[in-house]
């Protein structure tokens, strides 16, 4: 049996962005560039509730309303042992859960009027999804003569993606 936990957090290393996609597409003053990318993130691993911002917006333009929430959890159980002097068995079963709930600002509030959106509202998308993955593995190792081994195994895995949504 094993159990572990991690906590990772960083302010990152913000990168200076002199020009971005909005700088090239729109008149001056319609971009957050020049500015800095947001590289900060936080992640806890046991049941992780990860949350961070995209360093640069999804359209390669600086944006100030990006957030990525991607909690996940997993469980695994296994066995490994010798069946005979020459045959070793390894078996495991696992379950992974992942949820993705993003907020992507395509372009900043200063450009929304160019696309027919109300002034001072960014163009924002909200893609979401969930997934479950279950699987099992069975492996047998046969010690042949000298240092040769033969390995045989089987794997089953099923992935289900559901609650897929995309709103704006």
1 in a structural domain = no
How many distinct structural domains can be found in the chain? 1
In order of 17, 19, 65, 70, 148, the CA distances from 37 in angstroms are 7, 12, 12, 20, 53
Successive 10-residue mean pLDDT values, the chain, 168 residues: 64 84 82 80 60 69 79 87 94 91 81 77 85 96 90 97 85
Give the residue numbers spanning the domain of 75: 6-167
CB 67 within 8 A of CB 105: no
- Is pTM beyond 0.85 here? no
User: Could you give the CA distance from residue 106 to residue 37 in angstroms, rounded to a whole number?
Assistant: 15
Question: Which pLDDT value is given to residue 80?
Answer: 94
- Is the residue at 23 inside a domain? yes
Q: What is the pLDDT of residue 66?
A: 79
> Within a domain: residue 85?
yes
């Amino acid at each position: 049996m094993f159990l572990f936990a991690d906590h990772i957090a960083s302010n990152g290393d913000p990168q200076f962005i002199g020009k971005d996609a909005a700088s090239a597409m729109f008149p001056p003053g319609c971009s957050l560039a020049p500015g800095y990318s947001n590289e900060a993130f936080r992640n806890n691993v046991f049941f992780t509730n990860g949350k961070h911002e995209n360093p640069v917006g999804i359209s390669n333009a600086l944006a100030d309303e990006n957030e990525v929430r991607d909690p996940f959890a997993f469980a695994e159980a296994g066995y490994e042992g010798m069946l005979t002097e020459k045959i070793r068995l390894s078996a495991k079963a696992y379950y992974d859960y992942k949820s993705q709930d993003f907020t992507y600002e395509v372009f900043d509030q200063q450009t929304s009027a160019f696309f027919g959106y109300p002034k001072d509202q960014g163009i924002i998308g909200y893609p979401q999804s969930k997934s479950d993955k279950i699987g099992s593995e069975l492996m047998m190792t046969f010690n042949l003569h000298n240092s040769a081994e033969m390995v045989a195994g089987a794997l089953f895995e099923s992935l289900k993606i559901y609650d897929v949504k995309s709103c704006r």
